[in-house]
């Protein structure tokens, strides 16, 4: 089973029915069916709580609870932070996400900030590119 790390924007697309929602839904369907194991960092949950703040508290916590039931949460600890600090890149938050994907031994990273992960040695895809290649990638 392939291990797929989801960047914050993929979860937000799914929750907020944004432009990438259809692709995110297909990726989550692979997780539900057991074809893949889905991961997100604990940082993603803080980011989501901030980004979806326009909702009622109950709606926000329902969305967070839903996501926590779908993905395996990778803790962001000192080791990941220190590794991110040791490798300065344009977007520090993306480096933190990458460190979590490495910690979880993920096979792929799915992000719609694909160009921010140029430093990654883990193959990374936009949600649409991942869905287009899904059959090949999860075999």
Structure tokens at 133: 């290649």
Query: Looking at the chain, which runs of residues are DSSP E strands?
Result: 2-6, 36-41, 72-74, 108-110, 124-125
Max mean pLDDT range (31-35, 54-58, 107-111): 107-111
pLDDT of 16: 86
H or E element, residue 114: none
- Neighbouring C-beta atoms of residue 10, cutoff 10 Å: 30
pLDDT tens profile 12-29: 999 988 888 999 999 999
pLDDT of 115: 78
Residue ranges of the domains in the chain? 2-134
What's the pLDDT band for 116 if we cut at 50, 70, 90? confident
Higher per-residue pLDDT: 135 or 6: 6
Whether the pLDDT of residue 138 is over 90: the answer is no
CATH number for the domain formed by residue range(s) 2-134: 3.40.50.1010
Q: Identify the three-state secondary structure at position 79.
A: helix
pLDDT of 129: 95
Q: Which among 96, 56, 73, 54 is positioned nearest to 11, based on CA atoms?
A: 73
pLDDT of 113: 83
> Cα 100 from chain centroid?
10
Whether the pLDDT of residue 80 is over 90: the answer is yes
Q: What is the pTM of this model?
A: 0.94
What lies within 8 Å, CB to CB, of 74 at 6+ separation is 5, 39, 40, 41, 42, 100, 101, 103, 104
Whether the pLDDT of residue 55 is over 90: the answer is no
């Amino acid at each position: 089973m392939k291990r797929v790390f989801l960047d914050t924007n993929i979860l937000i697309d799914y929750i907020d029915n944004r432009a990438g929602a259809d692709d995110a839904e297909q990726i989550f369907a692979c997780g539900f069916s057991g074809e893949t194991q889905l991961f997100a960092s604990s940082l993603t949950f803080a980011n989501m709580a901030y980004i979806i703040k326009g909702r009622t508290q109950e709606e926000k916590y329902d969305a967070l609870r839903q996501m926590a039931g779908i993905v395996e949460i990778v803790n962001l600890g000192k080791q990941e932070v220190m590794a991110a600090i040791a490798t300065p890149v344009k977007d520090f938050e993306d480096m933190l996400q990458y460190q979590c994907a490495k910690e979880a031994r993920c096979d792929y990273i799915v992000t719609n900030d694909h160009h921010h992960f140029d430093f990654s040695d883990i193959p990374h895809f936009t949600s649409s590119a991942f869905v287009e290649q899904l059959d090949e990638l999860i075999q």
